[in-house]
Structure 1
Amino acid sequence: MATFSYSDEDVLLTTSHAVPRREVAEHLGIVVADVTPGRNIGKDIAGGLRDIVGGRSGSWEKTLADSQQTALDELLEEATELGADAVVAIDVADEALGGQGGMMNVKVVGTAVRLD
């Protein structure tokens, strides 16, 4: 399994439970970010057609990728407010809300830590 890492200049975000060559000095708490993009009738129609004829919906994939990035940015902001050096054990989950034709939600959860 590959490890995801994303970092600004101050806080490292990683799916790993550890940071190489660094020790966790303090757990600051769980940080969570939720992003639910608004519905778009054009994307809904195009996505529905893709369901019928097959293929990928590029517009929904872009929306999902943008939502994931927004959630990571929000997680980074929350961790920075706590004084964290890193957020470890990050899990990114995408889920449909309200069944078929419902909205999408992106949830990102991790543990904010201070490193030695």
Structure 2
Amino acid sequence: MSDITITTTDGLDGQNVTEYLGVVAGEAVIGANVISDLAAGIRDVVGGRSGSYEKKIKAGRTEAINDATAEAEALGADAIVGASFDYEEMGEGMLWVNISGTAVRTTRE
């Protein structure tokens, strides 16, 4: 687990940004298989949540976060500010998950 703090805001409470190190990003492409597609389709018809898809999306988000934090650590950052997620369909059954933000160094106030 990384010690990098990630926030969607442009700063962190109780900390001052001392250096902006650059944009970092992480991506993951996730796909679904026939069995989970069928189960999700049945749930959609009967009105339930698709737990299999939710798990896949969460796993993709975690992979993207791990990639971005690894980039930030390589730059010597202790935080990522202004983080933003993007989810895009890349074709039938494929979803692209992206996080981007600015790697920074901070000090406590």
Q: Same fold (TM over 0.5)?
A: yes
Q: Does 1:58 align with 2:51?
A: yes
Specify which structure has the bigger relative contact order, considering alpha-carbon pairs within 8 angstroms and separated by 6 or more residues: 2
Which 5+ residue runs of structure 1 have no aligned equivalent? 1-6
Looking at secondary structure, tell me which structure has more strand per residue: 2
For 1:86-101, what aligned pairs fall within 5 Å after superposition? 86-98=79-91, 101=92
For residues 38-82 of structure 1, what are the alpha-carbon distances to aligned partners after superposition, in whole Å with 9 as ceiling and x for unaligned? 331111112222333322110110111111111111111110001
TM-score w.r.t. structure 2 length?
A: 0.86
Aligned length: 107
Percentage of pairs with the same residue:
39
The ranges of structure 1 where at least 4 consecutive aligned residues each deviate by more than 6 angstroms after the TM superposition are none
TM-score w.r.t. structure 1 length?
A: 0.82
For residues 74-112 of structure 1, what are the alpha-carbon distances to aligned partners after superposition, in whole Å with 9 as ceiling and x for unaligned? 1111100011111001111222222xx331111111110
Cα RMSD for the two superposed structures:
1.6
Which 5+ residue runs of structure 2 have no aligned equivalent? none
C-alpha distance in 2 between matches for 1:50 and 1:94: 22
